[in-house]
Chain A
Amino acid sequence: MSDLDYDPHSYEAPLDHRDDHAPGDEPGESAGHWVANSNLGLGFSVVLTVAAFVLAGSHLIYGPAIPVALLVLAVAQMGVHLVFFLHVTTGPDNTNNVLALAFGVMVVFLIVVGSIWIMNHLNQNMMPMDQLMRMQP
């Protein structure tokens, strides 16, 4: 058991690189680093957002590919936000955060894709509404 020269439970003590980190929080970081991260995040986000708005409804690329391109840009921008604004990294101190995020993403994926999948099949296999209404006594 180590004797630290500070009490890790008091806030004044700096978090050091041996601690786990919560998202949106980093140890012993200077304000300048936060500002630099924010600047980078804003820069990337602006580029991705402008690209998405220019692409939507334009004829710059093959029409049916536009929704896919928009989704790719959106996912990229979410990634930028996670890294530069929420400070989620791949480091060992972030393992818990990333695992929780991965679980969340899995649930989101199941809900969205599952709903679309099931409802599409239901739609295709269901009798058209007017026929269904005629069958009613």
Chain B
Amino acid sequence: MTDLPATVETIRRVREDPHRLGHRDHGPEGPVKGAGHGDTGPANKRIVVGYGFWIFLLSDIVMFSCFFAAFAVQRNATAGGPAIGQIVEMPRTALETGALLLSSYTCGLSFAATNARNKLWTQVFLLITGLLGLAFVGMELQEFISLAQQGITPQRSGFLTSFFGLVGLHGLHVTIAGLWLATMMAQVQLKGFRREIVHRLICFNLFWHALDIVWIGIFTIVYLMGIGP
């Protein structure tokens, strides 16, 4: 095959695989070390770590889907208690959504700063991300407390169990991610952009964005569809 002139080889390949699906650009001949192709050993650690965390995130989203399914099934099982339309407060939901969306944005900016190896801006954007996440968790706690004061607790009805379960699970994720963020800021400060620190920042970014994606589902299915007819 390699005996053919380059042009003939190219024509053959284009004819057999016009869109070059699953192929790389032309690099050096042979598989590339560290790319995870061919018999050159496992992929770069950065890829393995990020991909592994991606798989974990997908499993986390599968878990959330179980809570979504429970909510969808129990939505009308109010047992004479309050229905979804009666416990939703749109202004607070809008503020929560805004806070989480902005925090996702600043999280992306922090990773841009990480790519530029700029410690100051990485820290600044991580701090803003954390404060916005804190505001989100605070608003959600306030919502839960005010509901509890009206006697609206998870044990009231099947609907409320699934509501507090779904929204609470997401709030718990944001809280834990906030703790992670604080430790990441400390690690960036003390250890700098070492290889494994950057890997952890990649994972943290993925986690934070995934939380925002789950929140899109929650504010749409629980809150916005709750106030409709």
Residues of A in contact with B (beta carbons under 8 Å apart): 1-4, 7-11, 15-25, 29-32, 34-35, 37-38, 41-42, 45-46, 49, 52-53, 55-57, 63-64, 66-67, 70-71, 73-74, 77-78, 81-82, 85-86, 92-93, 95-97, 100-101, 103-104, 107-108, 111-112, 114-116, 119
Contact = CB atoms under 8 A, between A and B. Distances in A.
Interface in B199-229: 202, 205-206, 209-210, 212-213, 216-217, 219-221, 223-225, 227-229
7 nearest A-B pairs in the assembled complex, by CB-CB distance: A22-B50, A8-B34, A34-B112, A2-B28, A104-B58, A115-B69, A11-B195
B55 to A, nearest CB: 6
Given A18-B32, A20-B47, A41 B20 contact: no
Nearest to B59: A104
B55 A25 contact: no
Contacts of A82: 213
19 contacts: A1-B30, A19-B36, A19-B47, A22-B48, A24-B50, A34-B109, A38-B105, A45-B101, A49-B98, A55-B224, A56-B224, A57-B227, A63-B228, A70-B224, A81-B209, A82-B213, A85-B108, A92-B21, A104-B59
B62 interface: yes
Given A41-B108, A116-B72, A103 B47 contact: no
Interface string B87-113: 000100010011001101100110111
A101 B216 contact: no
Contact of A116 (B35, B51, B69, B206): B69
A23 B111 CA distance: 13
Contacts of B8: none
Q: Looking at chain B's contact residues, is the secondary structure mostly helix, strand, loop, or mixed?
A: helix
A1 B101 contact: no
B73 interface: yes
